[in-house]
Amino acid sequence: MNTAINKIKSFISDKDTLTLWLNNLFVLYAFFLPISGSIKAKVFIVILLLFIIRGNIKRYIKEALSNNVIRAFVYLFVIYLLGLLWSDDLKEGLRWVKSIKYGLYLIVFYSFIDGRYIKKVLTAFILGMLLSEIISYCMLFGILPWELIIGHIHFYATQAPGDASPFLNHIHYGVALSLVVVLLIYQIYFRNKNLIFKLLMSLFIISASTNIFVTGGRTGYLSFLVLLSALAIFYLKRWAIIGLIVISFLLSIAYMNSPMMQSRVNQTIHSVDNIIQNHPDFNTSIGIRAGLYYYGWQAVKHDLVLGLGTGDSMHAIYNQSPPTWKGRLEPHEHNQFFSILMKLGIVGVLFFLNIYYQIFKYKQDDKELRFIMLFTTLAVTIGVLTTQFNLRFFMPLWVVMLTITLISKDRKTIIQNIDDKKNLFRIIVLGLIFSIFNLYSKSL
């Protein structure tokens, strides 16, 4: 007993070992990011606990806040808090504040991330997406059901049969897959890798690209087009035209061979036609979004400077909308930019845009890290044009990728030598422990 207590005391007092374990846990956090929100949350609780135990909190916070990008996220959180002052519904307002709190995680992650863990974190996220993709294809081929429940444990469920997005909302899933595709293309095209690696990555790119178009997320189709077009225009240079032609060809093939994509694109065209007619139809997926923007603008146009308050935007839209449309009211505005305008006005939008300004002017000399930073930001931006941070994927994704790109690969927060094999074993064991605990908690 005394031996165990002494080991715990030794572990707690060894700040370097704590930092090592914080990095291992962050790898796990990145892996579960596209798989399980509940496990991801539990991992962060342990990270936060070790962050506090490690001590020197004031110094780490001060160091993090010296970074302009991190400070920009803090400012956005603060303006959301201040918006409660002119909000009537404080409970709803606090719910929206919680959706922005993930930006503050940058302070914690930045304090311990070691440059030697950059590739580990990135690889963990890609492997998490690969696992999701494997399950997605297993559903499509009838190997696994569209919803998996064993006893009282709910493993996953798709939004609808035929829409093979196992763990994430199909909007999130499509955007995440598109991001993975461009990250892997960068590795193949711009990094010196061996032939076997390039072949394996090429297969993953093909399977991930195909997976985007057999799911029902139209935002995924858009993100695939925009991200690959940006890659062609800004990185392929003299091959840009050929790249754009190839992208157009691939999209044509995808449309002709994917009933799901055909259905979703045709629905979009039909919905837009209904919206622009003399008597707009707001009873479709696109129509509901158009209605939110229309009635939202009517509600906020007289309070454009500071908005309606953090918790009052949806109430205002509800009050503006006609009785025949109220039954279809959504829980959020389906657009992060418009949501901020509604809640916090032009002032809030400027605070949000400041994050982009700080990212684009950030000095990151490593071309690969700069690429990851910019393309993740672009992917998240496309995503939040049709959904919001309250669904708890895009903000954590942004934060994870910024954490590994705001530092240099030479940064060392861990003094001791890193044994990759031993730490991989530790991460796998930790992952199993968190998974078992999460299943047990679900079964209660």
Q: pLDDT (tens digit, 9 = 90+) per residue, 212-228?
A: 877 767 887 888 888 98
- Per-residue pLDDT at 299: 86
What is residue 66's DSSP assignment?
T
- Per-residue pLDDT at 280: 60
> Of all helices (H) and strands (E), which one includes residue 16?
helix 15-32
pLDDT under 50: residue ranges of the chain: none
Q: Which long-range contacts (CB under 8 A, 24 or more apart) does 126-130 make?
A: 126/180, 126/183, 126/184, 127/31, 128/30, 128/31, 128/32, 128/33, 128/34, 128/35, 129/34, 129/176, 129/177, 129/180, 129/208, 130/204
- Residue located via tokens 């993930």: 102
* Of residues 45, 50, 43, 47, the one with CA closest to residue 29: 43
Type of residue at 403: T
- Per-residue pLDDT at 297: 87
Which residues share a beta bridge with 155?
Answer: none
Rounded CA-CA distance 198/191 in Å is: 10
- Per-residue pLDDT at 236: 75
Tell me the per-residue pLDDT of 308-342, one tens digit each, with 9 for 90 and over.
999 888 888 888 877 766 555 667 778 899 999 99
- Give DSSP secondary structure letters for 143-186: SS-SEEEETTEEEEE-SSTT---SSS-HHHHHHHHHHHHHHHHH
- Per-residue pLDDT at 208: 87
Return the beta strands (E) in 245-297 as ranges. Answer: none
pTM score of the predicted model = 0.90
Helix 68-82 and helix 105-112, axial crossing angle in degrees, nearest 10: 160
